[in-house]
Structures are given as C-alpha cells and as structure tokens.
Structure 1
C-alpha cells in the first residue's frame, strides 16, 4: 500500500461524517482545520470516492439476513440524468438498493435479477404504479417455477418514501453530483450508514456498539 499522507483515522472520520450527517465537503474542511489538520475539500472528496466502495463491500459481510417480503420504490433523481434510487424494504429493514442510469424495464430487470442472485427469491414484491417495474417482475417470474407475488398498490409504499427522506437530507448540502459514478458511490455510502443506524448489522461483540463504533469495527 502506498504511504498515506494523512492518518487513516482522519480519513475514515471524514468519510463517515460525510455520509452520516448533513455536511458539505467544505464543512469537513473547516472541521479538520479546527483540529489543526489542513486538508482541502477536494482531497476529502477523493477519499470518499475511493474508500466508500471498499466499506460497502465489507459491510455486506456483516449484514443481517433479509425478509422474504420486499417493497420497492424509485426515488432520488441524479442531476443531469434519469438516474434513480431503488430500495427493497420490509419492516424498516433494507434489503438492497441501487442507482440506475435509466428508468425502464431493462434497468428494473437487472436490479431484480442481481438482488435475487445475492439474497434469494422474495415471496412478495410490492411496487407502485410503475409500468416498467411491473413488466420487469413479470419477466423475472416467467423464468421461475415459483414466481413471486406482485402487489401494485402505491399506498403500501408510503413508509418507504418516508424512509428515503433521510437520504434526501444528506444530499441537500452536497449541491448535486459531479457525475453518475460519484452519485452511485456516495448514495451507496449514505444508505449503508443509514442501515447501520437502524441496527441491521450482525452482532460485532457482547457490548452494543454505536453506529460510529460499528463503522470503525467493520473497516478495521
């Protein structure tokens, strides 16, 4: 590994704070300056883009098993594209989410196939009135002996929409994304921290840990 110009704990603090709280990159630059640590906001951004994918990968190893009833919603649009935020949800439990570059049947089908391959086939999937999602689910079910039950009832997904407000609050101070890759990485990090706060990490020890402690335990 190349020699780090900054202590790893400083880098992790900045990365975690960026996705856990409603901070801008310049807010973090000022916070580090108060601690006599000179770091430019663009440097913090590079840390975020480089470290968050590694953190997400390690987090997946510690995530609790998911339920067999899914709820799906399309939510956050990324500036300059038709990108969306998609989540599976049951009883305040996140299963998986993805940021796609298109809102169509093919994008929804890829999302469902990848999710099913990683966490198994759901018994029930609840969606809103999206025709693309419905068509994708019919395509997924067509190739399976035991198809998932599809419920297309918008009001049942109200809790999912409310849950997404946390992510929207985080993205507000960010003032948009530079590109689709940045959006994917940052939204992934925000969602992972949100899931940790909701207690969806397997026990990391006998003593209950705070969300911050769980973050550092996973990356250590």
Structure 2
C-alpha cells in the first residue's frame, strides 16, 4: 500500500467525519438521504449533496490507496456480465472475480459481444500482470472467442453451474441500484463501482466458513486499514 496522500484542505468538516460518511455510503446499501439522516441523529448537519461530493472526491482517492490482493498463477477467474439500464438504454457490466469472490475488475460497456469480452480480458492481463490457471464463464460464446485470441493457453470452462461466484457478485450492486433508483450515466456507474468494489473487497471476508471470532478479527483489521488509508487513525 502506498503512503497516504489524501488532503482535506479547505474542507470545514474534520477528516474523521468525511471518511466515516464515505464509508457508510459505499459500505452499506444506503441512499444519500439515509446517510444524511444517520449523521443528523449524531448532531452532524450535512446535506445529501455534500455527501455526494465527498463520495466523488474522496471515494476514488481512498480506493486507489487500498491494498490490492496479490495476483497468482493459481488464480481462477470467474467472468460474467449483467445488464444495467441507464437512461432507458441497455448497458452491460462485465465483471471478473477470483476463486475467493474478490472483485478483480469490472467494465461498463454498451455491447455484449466478443469485442467487449476481449476488452475485459486485455484489461485483466494489464492489471494482474499474469494469466490465471483457468477462466470460468457461462455459455456466452464471446468468452471463448476472446480467450482464444488473448490467452489461448489458458484453460476455459464454460458452464452456468460453475459460475456462481461471478453471478453472486452482482447481487450487492443490484441492491445498491434499487436504493439509488438507477444510475444517471455510464461514467457515474463506472466511478461508483470502482469505489464500491474496492471497499467491499476490504471488508467482506473471502472465506464463507470462518468462525465468528475470525470474522470479527477480519473486520477490525479492515477498519484499521481504512483509517490508515483515510488518514484518520488515532
């Protein structure tokens, strides 16, 4: 993780309040107005528009500072795409998660074809710096064509029943989509998911059968890292 470079200059609210507000908004399925109400209950008067600006200004900065999972050649990439309506038009959110459900990358595209699948694979190779052990997808033929072009030596398993990790990874965003009553533009969706997934990767345990104590410790460590990244550690 790189050294924190977050600046709160010219903001009248303390960094702790700004960071806590951004955490509430991206960590939980809350609308801007619900976050505004929760802060008011604690005597903090902040408009929902201010919360929106904090999310845009600081959310991306926080996400860039969060520690990313180290890639491995033993990783298995689960790829999937889900339709999202923006301004009455269909767009596709292409997502890749690893064997632990960790979101590796996601791209909003207007098409659901080989070109779009190829773009996802190219971006994944660029960010991960290595190919995976295997990729798992549903029956969409575009994945096979893109894989043969971009990473022909990588094993590809195409079966809907094997791809539950990628399909399940869409559920948290679907909940947020309903709370937010949709997204206004492709850009706003892409910006939101980059922060949303980074925060979720940090706080959500990748091991579903952890004990209650292990889960508790994981959350404590995640909060400690969050405070270090947001420069709000005591």
Work out whether the TM-score is over 0.5: yes
Query: Number of residues paired by the alignment?
Result: 208
The offset of 1:210, in angstroms, is: 4.4
> Which whole-Å deviations, capped at 9, do the CAs of 1:82-138 have from their partners, x for residues lacking one?
333333233324251213222332222122112112211112111111122222212
TM-score, normalised to structure 1, is: 0.84
Partner SS for 1:88:
strand
Question: What value does the CA root-mean-square deviation take over the aligned residues?
Answer: 2.2
Which of the numbers 87, 92, 108 marks the counterpart of 2:117?
108
Q: Distance in 2 between matches of 1:189 and 1:101?
A: 18
Counterpart residue number, 2:93:
85
Structure 1 unaligned runs (5+)? 201-206
Q: Distance in 2 between matches of 1:127 and 1:214?
A: 33
Counterpart residue number, 2:69:
64
The answer to whether the 8 Å contact 2:96/2:103 transfers is yes
1:178 paired with 2:188, answer no
Counterpart residue number, 1:167:
173
> Which whole-Å deviations, capped at 9, do the CAs of 1:34-72 have from their partners, x for residues lacking one?
22222111111111112222122112xx22223422111
Structure 2 unaligned runs (5+)? 1-6, 207-216
Partner SS for 2:104:
strand
1:212 paired with 2:218, answer no
The offset of 1:157, in angstroms, is: 0.5
The answer to whether the 8 Å contact 1:20/1:170 transfers is no
Counterpart residue number, 2:41:
34
TM-score, normalised to structure 2, is: 0.79
Indicate how the Cα distance of structure 1 residues 63 and 107 shifts in structure 2: closer, same or farther if over 3 A, else same. Answer: same
